[in-house]
Amino acid sequence: MVLDKDPEAIAAAEVLRHEDGRVTVVHGGFARMAEHLEELGITKVDGVLLDLGVSSPQIDDAGRGFSFMREGPLDMRMDTSSGITAAQWLAEASVEEIKEVIAHYGEERFAFQIAKAVVARRESRPLCTTLDLAELVASVVRTREKGQHPATRTFQAIRIYLNQELEELAHALAALLRILAPGGRLSVISFHSLEDRMVKQCIAAAAKPGAAQARLPIPEKDMPQPILKSLGRVLPNEAEVSGNVRARSAVLRVAERTTTPLPADGGVSFVPVSGLIKTTATKRGTGARRPGRSAQSARRGS
Ligand SMILES: C[S@@+](CC[C@H](N)C(=O)[O-])C[C@H]1O[C@@H](n2cnc3c(N)ncnc32)[C@H](O)[C@@H]1O
């Protein structure tokens, strides 16, 4: 099964599907991979590859609104069939909400100044295009990072937030632990540190579930046993980066499922959810869920 929330990626996959009769193409989010597999009658898998983030077709098509270098509508949705656009969100969100998203998901030092500038600007004219936003951000971000456009962090943050990328990843990791057969492998390619940290922490917690009790006088046989065995991390080599410069920030982490049964919570205790923003902003949209609420349900295991 191949899964993507972008209808255009799905259309491309449908064309390629005819080259291999084993492939089933599904339009949907990674968070619901277990449900999609169940609909196909599959409850266990031997391998999952999560290739996270945005694709080159999404960045290169100005009409998708992901690029601060190309003039286009301020959209930034991976799934263009639901949710709200970046323009809609920026037209309504408060200074505090915008600041929180940009500071947290973009790790941007000038988040407050950017948020204030967005709200001041929309009083006179709405922010409709990518260049409207890129130029506004460039006017308030005073220190430039080498080789980086001043709007890089802001665009990354809004994209992560609108597409609920970290929340989807948290749910996907919890699902992966449930559906991997013993000996099955999970491979995750991430493109920024927030995602990679989440994957790393999940694998570490599942590989060493007794770490917190290590100093307690508990006999070895009573210690929680590993759910995953980490097989390490792979970074792109020079040849790969020179062939595709967008690969430079990629990190591939691989782990293997052991035979140990999952704990009673279904493994959700291994999934870090503390980095998710609690906000009501996406409730204005067409069916997008609230990150904060779902983060809590991930913790509860629903
Ligand atoms: C880095 S691209 C890789 C695309 C594909 N693997 C390829 O090599 O052409 C990431 C893709 O994942 C999709 N994506 C990102 N997060 C997703 C999620 N939570 N659920 C479903 N698809 C997602 C994006 O729409 C995008 O098409």
pLDDT band for 83, please (50, 70, 90 cuts).
Answer: very high
Higher pLDDT, 89 or 287: 89
Question: Nearest CA to 3 among 168, 246, 235, 199?
Answer: 168
pLDDT for 254 beyond 60: yes
Question: Average pLDDT, stretch 195-224?
Answer: 86
With beta carbons less than 8 A apart as the criterion, state whether 167 and 240 touch. no
Alpha-carbon distance values, 31 to 34, 169, 176, 298 (Å)? 8, 7, 9, 10
* Mean pLDDT (whole number) for 140-153: 85
Give the Å distance between the CA of 29 and the centre of ligand 1.
Answer: 9
CA of 286 to the centre of ligand 1 (A): 21
pLDDT digits (tens, 9 = 90+) for 205-215: 999 987 777 77
Q: Does residue 216 register a pLDDT over 90?
A: no
| Closest atom of ligand 1 to CA, residue 49 | 6
- pTM given for the model: 0.89
For residues 86 and 74, the answer to whether their CB atoms sit within 8 Å is yes
Summarize the confidence of residues 144-172 as an average pLDDT.
93
Binned at pLDDT 50, 70 and 90, residue 288 comes out as very low
The residue whose two tokens read 């595709």 is 244
CA atoms within 13 A on the CB side of 290: 10
Q: Whose CA is nearest to atom 13 of ligand 1?
A: 4
Q: Which three-class secondary structure state does DSSP give residue 181? A: strand
- Which one of 51, 167, 173 would you pick to mutate in the ligand 1 pocket, going by the greatest count of ligand atoms within 8 A of its CB? 51
What's the sign of the alpha-carbon dihedral 15, 16, 17, 20?
Answer: positive
The residue among 42 and 222 whose pLDDT is bigger is 42
DSSP H helices, 130-252, are 130-140, 152-162, 165-179, 193-207, 238-243
| Closest ligand 1 atom, residue 169 Cα | 19
Stretch 162-187: mean pLDDT, rounded? Answer: 96
pLDDT at 278: 63
Nearest CA to ligand 1 atom 24: 54
> Where does ligand 1 bind, in terms of residues with CB under 6 Å?
3-6, 9, 29-30, 51-53, 55, 78, 165, 168
Across 21-25, 123-127, 141-145, least confident range: 141-145
- 249 burial via Cβ count (<10 Å: 0-12, 13-18, 19+): middle
Query: Which domains are delineated in the chain?
Result: 1-51 (no CATH), 56-164 (1.10.150.170)
